[in-house]
Structure 1
């Protein structure tokens, strides 16, 4: 006999979720002493919240959980785009996923590493000319350049590139308006339209033989790919999915600013990254991804009647996977609230505990195909700030407010007096 599921009192918890942000689910699992509970959200709709490694295994089991159609439509339009791969399921999803995964070759990933290293080094003169540098904002522009070059998309004018960088941020920030009355929605939608318009023009030019991107690049592959029925993607849809190979890279600006904050608050960490130990840069990057707030939770729905931890969950019930709480679970991560990169020394690489960008298998599940890219960009970015430059950190608000979605440092992480970390006289 199934147990009676714990419930959060109240007709609708949407506003409370937005008020408490990343802490909402951890607060409830602690209060109710459970890793599964029922609540009402989005106009009183029943939802079952699940947390932990076993919850992630259930959530990313394609036979038990459905992801398609579970995100609010406004968020899909602004964050992912109409018709994006994130909205697909079954064979169609697997087929489209092969296109994304085709970009993850060893040579492409090594190229991404070089691009990240080179664009940061090239940016040094610009940083030195600034009175102060907001790492969060500057990372946005650098990563946009990395993303465009990786996809072999031609750069637009400097002014438009800066606008596209702002546009990418607006798309990611639209997550914070989930469940509210159109706050920031139009701004994010206009931002997406601007970038999609530009990318679609490059795809059309490629198909007409007016532009010749390198084979194996995003622009080339998305322009020429055909689905399992031998049909070429609509140029706008191709632009949407091409955008979804670039936008996630730009969103790493949050992790980079968090990483610079961690090196400031834990000076020994900066010194260890500076020792040019690639294995430590990897561990540091993974701990930044685990420790700091990125994705708070993800929605899905039960494909059939299922049981989790002894509780019955009926078919079509909304499921909410606790991402942030799982990343801070004491049962999974010893001293979870401590920043400790060495915890990844003997990590088994489980696809269900380190899930800031989804879980499960890269090829068949909704785990982000760009996760490898995130780690590479983080490694090279952190080595740049630790090895290539020196800088001062002025007084500022270092607070990372877990009640705000999506998470970021209140000040953006300000640095100043930037200089090269080498002596030309020697």
Structure 2
């Protein structure tokens, strides 16, 4: 078996953060290898996996451990202590079934209706604004959609504060392995949201508030594990947040989708007129633009992979962005082409912007379907229901920064509802 090539250095964390989403592809090219070793986050040794085969290995529950592998700072800010993302085995499968039970046809249709209606109702507000920052506007609107869908009581006067706290938490990916100056503010934002949701869990269990059956608040408040035990109220609040926090994070895809329409104007008419095009467009936005950079795991046993020996206990990293741009899986991966999804086979190991593998037994995001629905309805709204101008601005997407953004957030102005008055 061949020796795994190394990106030399005692701790390459700063190098990873400096090169961002491109770090892994840069090293593969430099070292001329599909698999390489690096040290990061306190000098820990990691073997970096990439591509469909790498994802197939990474999401093999019998061979790869996920529990306990997320950096502590990310757990404390983004996911929460004891969250479903941080556990494995029977405990994970049991709780994942709860999350999947929320993905009913009725609940999915409801989030479609909420998205469509909230954007339409938001039109007059945007008409009265000199400029609309799509990144910011969508995080507030999606907070309205997410809390309503989850059955959570969110007073209108608190929506912007809740949206800001959620955005701060989602932004905490930049805290990995560094003295991120916003770490305390991210923890404080999480504490405020957890306190608010824990109170609603407690009040629901006491019968003082009555969320509809089938909502996330109702189902989590009344859930019992396979041993017949309810979740403690704090963990319950954390996982309640995890049912709609990813929905709010879609604001990044919304901004990227607007950029894609602007830079590929032929897609606008197709979204308006072709029945399935909004779906293909949404999938390509999720594939093409930067979202999750990498995911960590650990080998449970000795593994042979692509001619290399990986010892039991070795820390692993799956290169998510690199897999989404892997030339072996995607033809011309650096081109934005929604049409590529006309004949896509639906593999759970190549399109992995929100995790891979099986929904029920693995760590693939239960809300992936919701992401696609929200993107479909949002892109249809901007393509069909309003007109607007795009002023000069910095539309750069900096792949050397984690998480990825459009520098300007994508700004529009002169918003007007399209109405056929003939």
How many angstroms does 1:248 deviate by?
A: 0.2
CA distance in structure 2 between the partners assigned to 1:237 and 1:226 by the alignment: 13
Matched, 1:310 2:307: yes
Aligned 8 A contact 2:73 2:175 in 1: no
User: How far 1:4 sits from its partner (Å)?
Assistant: 1.1
Identify the match of residue 347 of structure 1 among 335, 344, 347: 344
**2:380 is matched with which residue?**
383
Deviation at 1:147, TM superposition (A): 0.4
Give the counterpart of 2:176 among 169, 175, 178: 178
Q: Which residue of 2 aligns with 1:7?
A: 6
Counterpart contact for 2:39–2:45, Cα < 8 Å: yes
Report SS of the residue matched to 1:278.
coil
Whether 1:329 aligns to 2:330 is no
Provide Cα deviations, 1:357-387, integer angstroms capped at 9, x if missing partner: 0000000000011101100110011101101
Residue 71 in 1 paired to residue 70 in 2?
yes
Aligned to 1:187: 185
The worse-fitting range, judged by mean Cα deviation, of 189-198 and 92-101 is 189-198
Counterpart of 1:273 in structure 2 is 271
Kindly state the Cα deviation for residue 188 of structure 1 after the two structures are TM-superposed.
0.6
Structure 1 position 411 matched with structure 2 position 396: no
Moved over 2 A (4+): none
Measured after TM superposition, the shift of residue 33 of structure 1 is 1.8
Shift of 1:392: 0.3
Deviation at 1:6, TM superposition (A): 1.1
Match of 2:356 among 349, 352, 359: 359
Cα distance in 1 for partners of 2:154, 2:172 equals 25
Whether 2:361 is the aligned partner of 1:373: answer no
Q: 1:200 Cα shift?
A: 1.2
CA contact (8 A) 2:41 2:176 kept: no
- 1:95-134 equivalent positions in 2, closer than 5 A: 95-134=94-133
Q: Give, in angstroms, the shift of residue 278 of structure 1.
A: 3.4
Aligned to 2:51: 52
Cα distance in 2 for residues equivalent to 1:80 and 1:45: 22
Equivalent residue number for residue 19 of structure 1: 18
> How large is the Cα RMSD of the aligned pairs?
0.8
Shift of 1:286: 0.2
Provide the TM-score with structure 1 as the length reference: 0.98
CA deviations over 1:241-280 (Å, ceiling 9, x no partner): 00001110000000000000111111111121122x3310
For 2:70 and 2:98, the matched residues in 1 are separated by 23
Hey, what's the Cα distance between the residues in 1 that align with 2:152 and 2:175?
30
**Matches of 2:237 and 2:11, distance apart in 1:** 37
Offset at residue 403 of structure 1 (A)? 0.7
Choose from 262, 265, 269 the match for 1:264. Answer: 262
Give unpaired runs (5+ residues) of structure 2: none
User: Which secondary structure does the structure 1 equivalent of 2:388 belong to?
Assistant: strand
